[in-house]
Amino acid sequence: MSVTVGLDTAALAGQHTGTEEVLEGLLYGLEQVGQPVVALGHAGQRLDPSVPGLGLAPTPRPSHRAKWRWETTGLARAAAAADVNVVHVPYLAHPPRALSVPTVVTVHDLIPYLYPGYQRRVAAKIYFRRVARHVAYAHRLVAVSESTWHDIAVVFPAWHSRVAVIPNGVHPAYFAAPDPVEVQRARAELHLAGDEPLLLYAGGYQAHKNLSLLMAATEAARRTTPGLRLLLVGADAVAQADSAVATPLPRVSRARLRALYALATLVLCPSRYEGFGLPAAQGLAAGTPVLASDIPAHREVLGDAACLLPVDAPERWANAIGSLVREAHWREDLAGAGRERADAFRWEVAARHYQALYREEGS
């Protein structure tokens, strides 16, 4: 039986963040497996997974108030007006009631519930308390890793029987060769001569991302590794980076990020917690050796295809950085193992599992 899914795309905005990355990848995968999709949040607009931003005109990220209005009333109205059999909310949210069709909610992580710093403000406490109540109306939940599945079992045990595990995918651009023009532009803008070792971090700058370890390890590694450079890519890079240790870049396009993976000697992922670890998986697909924190999500995604180290050992990170920079054979071994492991994280694989779940719920 053919099932049409209404996918909440309201989170797509002009800024390219992990949310956009996952949504664009998921839509690409669903198209590849022939899954009919109706965009809820971009009514009447055709989504084109073959182009950046899905072909949508860039829009500002909605305010907190607008986001809340969409999650509580807008999505339900859009779903009621659409001819769909299932509604998929690809992030932790749900209207405050059951809808007329089954709903699927993807849980990427439970960071707001595991890290008290996310709920310092009264408004944040109220918001996340309400989200937890509303998500209880979902028919099924998808955890993006076994690690997130375990967190759900601990934090929200009442949800657990409704949870399926479907790992995130990696956009096909990271499996493909980088655009040589983008590589040359990035090299010129960063003033890279071609032989200096480049460390790449891509991601957020919240406390659990553990950037202090990265800065300390890089500073220590420089004592034995001449010319070592650390590049920080992300929304708050300019504000967070110590220019004496790192080169900051704001958010960049996917094409530019793919070029930076190609230029990087190592990808560094020092987080204390991740629900999945998308930059680490992108590093695998791009064939760039990954040095990551030894946490459950990274162990699950990276396996033996990366070098894993404790989250509180900057000297060990510094030693590993120096060794990997000097030992080309080790880097080549990791790159080869990474490409092989990354095949499990193609979006077509994830999309087939989502399609089976849609059919199970919507038929």
pLDDT digits (tens, 9 = 90+) for 281-291: 999 999 999 99
Whether the Cβ atoms of residue 300 and residue 147 lie closer than 8 Å to each other: yes
Chain centroid to Cα 149, Å, comes to: 17
Check whether residue 293 and residue 280 sit in a common domain: yes
Check whether residue 237 and residue 133 sit in a common domain: no
Instruction: Give residue 61's pLDDT.
Output: 75
Check whether residue 217 and residue 313 sit in a common domain: yes
pLDDT at 234 over 70: yes
DSSP 69-81: HIIIIIHHHHHHH
Check whether residue 156 and residue 216 sit in a common domain: no
Instruction: Give residue 231's pLDDT.
Output: 94
Check whether residue 144 and residue 11 sit in a common domain: yes
Whether the Cβ atoms of residue 171 and residue 258 lie closer than 8 Å to each other: no
**26: CB partners within 8 A, 6+ apart:** 7, 90, 169, 347, 350, 351, 354
Q: How far apart are CA 303 and CA 88, in angstroms?
A: 30
CA-nearest of 83, 79, 122 to 98 is 79
Comparing 39-43, 214-218, 274-278, which segment has the lowest mean pLDDT? 39-43
Q: How far apart are CA 155 and CA 159, in angstroms?
A: 9
Q: How far apart are CA 60 and CA 327, in angstroms?
A: 45
Q: How far apart are CA 202 and CA 279, in angstroms?
A: 6
Please give the tally of structural domains in the chain.
Answer: 2
21 or 16, higher pLDDT: 21
For residue range 51-94, list pLDDT tens digits in order. 777 877 777 777 888 899 999 999 999 999 999 999 999 999 99
Check whether residue 290 and residue 301 sit in a common domain: yes
Check whether residue 124 and residue 186 sit in a common domain: no
Instruction: Give residue 215's pLDDT.
Output: 92
**169: CB partners within 8 A, 6+ apart:** 25, 26, 29, 345, 346, 347, 348, 349, 350, 351
Instruction: Give residue 55's pLDDT.
Output: 79
pLDDT at 14 over 80: no
User: pTM, whole model, 2 decimals?
Assistant: 0.93
pLDDT at 280 over 60: yes
Q: How far apart are CA 344 and CA 160, in angstroms?
A: 25
**238: CB partners within 8 A, 6+ apart:** 248, 250
pLDDT at 116 over 80: no
**CATH code for the domain in which residue 105 is found:** 3.40.50.2000
pLDDT band at 1 (very low <50, low <70, confident <90, very high): low
Comparing 78-87, 106-115, 140-149, 242-251, which segment has the lowest mean pLDDT? 242-251
β-partners of residue 38 are 6
Check whether residue 272 and residue 298 sit in a common domain: yes
Instruction: Give residue 16's pLDDT.
Output: 67
> What is the chain's mean pLDDT, rounded?
91
pLDDT at 146 over 80: yes
Per the structure, the complete domain to which residue 11 belongs is given by 5-169+346-362
CA-nearest of 180, 170, 198, 144 to 285 is 170
Q: What is the mean pLDDT of residues 238-250?
A: 68
64 or 272, higher pLDDT: 272
Q: How far apart are CA 133 and CA 71, in angstroms?
A: 13
Check whether residue 144 and residue 10 sit in a common domain: yes
pLDDT at 239 over 80: no
Taken as a whole, the chain contains a residue count of: 363
